[in-house]
Structure 1
Amino acid sequence: MARKGIIALDADGVLLDYGLAYAGAWQKAFGQLPRERDPLAYWPIDRWDVERLADERLDMLRRCFDEEFWCGIPPVPGAVEACHLLIAAGFELVCVTALPEEFRSARERNLRAHGFPIDMVHATDNIAPGGHSPKAETLHRLRPVAFVDDYLPYLIGIDSSIHRALIMRAATGSPNVGEALRFADSQHADLSAFAKSWTRQ
């Protein structure tokens, strides 16, 4: 089958359920699995019934976002199957994730362990320079036909020749609202919905 080009995929919120893994990090830090307060909350701090931390307790939690954490994040339901659907349709998949470089190999192992057909992970900064996506430089170098992310600010500054697809998950407190939605060429409930729309083309 002729290859149709590269599709670049974000990880957290698109491929992997970072919000669910956050509860595990909290349990590791403080010995108690938090109660889910709002399953439709975009940010983990709002999804789980947890306190806002500072000082030593915040440091305790941050230390739990280690190699083991980044290797063990569960997949978003349907995401593995969606990736295989895109591969079967002739696309090549890469992951472009805002993650410290030191954890890039952990992310690769995490994806492989779940059966994602993704061999290459590109790690970028998570701060948007000048209001533009920190993923823009990597995407411009890769020249994918499409880029899929669940965080609207990361679509800003991406070349318009790249189809910018926004995953509209978890509406409570979502940043995916307002005038900046013009930077999204399409909106989808999840990666499965994106894959189905792109494999029908």
Structure 2
Amino acid sequence: MKPTIALDADGVLLDYHQAYAGAWERAFGSRPVLRDPMAYWPMDRWDVQRVSGAALAQLRSCFDESFWSTIPALPGAVEACHRLVDAGFRLVCVSAVDARFAAARARNLAALGFPLEDLVATGNEVAGVSPKADALSKLKPAAFVDDFLPYHLGVPVHIHKALILREPNGSPNTGPGLAAVDSLHANLAAFVESWLQGPTPEHRGAAQ
């Protein structure tokens, strides 16, 4: 059986920043301008206001089936996934998306050409450990790639935990929790390059 690599979606495969700007435009009629290209969170990246009440409800209504099925791919992410498949790995997306949008997320990823064999939707409630920990325990991947440090918390020690650092301003990817992560990377392509050149067979690929 092929070894599995588990991949997060937003921030690893998909450009949630661009999708957020699109949702804001749908809600309020104008696309926000860029404020900080190095911001980790979309509300800091874009020049938008903190909204509440009816305006917040209006914005949230735009995070619908259409939103979750049309998020663009991050540059180089599709190609990076194909490199892993060509090296003999099976890819599964483990996403914290709500289960009711899992089908939309799967359609989105398939339409973009990601060679994924499955998608697991875990929801995003954190109760001391990652909401993805149980799914990863069952999946038993060789590696798990995510861009949010808290989602590595409680992941079994035998799974290689790769953290995508991406934009640093306001990032949660700092502090003592980094000690539990096995490797740090700028993006998925950088992880793939490192993984396939690693010293062990599971790094180099099942087909080699």
- State if a TM-score over 0.5 links the two structures: yes
5 Å-filtered alignment, 1:99-110, equals 99-110=97-108
- Post-superposition offset of 1:183: 1.4
Match of 1:192 in 2: 189
Does structure 1 conserve the Cα–Cα contact (< 8 Å) formed by 2:90 and 2:117?
no
Cα shift readout 1:85-130 (whole Å, capped 9, x = no counterpart): 000111100000001111001011000111000131100121111x
Aligned to 1:90: 88
Tell me, what secondary structure is at the counterpart of 1:25?
Answer: helix
Residue 199 of structure 1: CA displacement? Answer: 1.4
Match of 1:61 in 2: 59
Runs (5+) with no aligned partner, structure 1: none
Aligned to 1:181: 178
Instruction: Say if 2:7 and 2:145, in contact at 8 Å, map to a contact too.
Output: yes
The aligned counterpart of 1:111 is 109
CA distance in 2, matches of 1:158, 1:198: 19
Distance 2:170 2:98 in 1: 25
Give how far 1:77 is off.
0.5
Show structure 2 runs of 5+ residues with no match: 199-208
Match of 1:166, SS state, is: strand
> What is the CA-CA distance between 1:48 and the residue it aligns to?
0.2
1:159 to 156, 169, 177: 156
1:135 equivalent among 111, 115, 132: 132
Matched letter for residue 21 of structure 2: A
Secondary structure of residue in 1 paired with 2:161: strand
Deviations 1:148-181 (A, max 9, x none): 0000000010011000000010100000001110
Q: Given residue 122 of structure 1, which amino acid in structure 2 is its aligned partner?
A: V
RMSD: 0.8
Distance 1:183 1:82 in 2: 25
- Could you say what secondary structure the match of 2:62 adopts? coil
Same amino acid, percent of matched pairs? 58
Q: TM-score, normalised by structure 1?
A: 0.97
CA contact (8 A) 1:108 1:119 kept: no
Number of residue pairs the alignment of both structures matches: 198
Counterpart in 1 of 2:166?
169
Q: Distance in 2 between matches of 1:125 and 1:30?
A: 27
Report SS of the residue matched to 2:177: helix
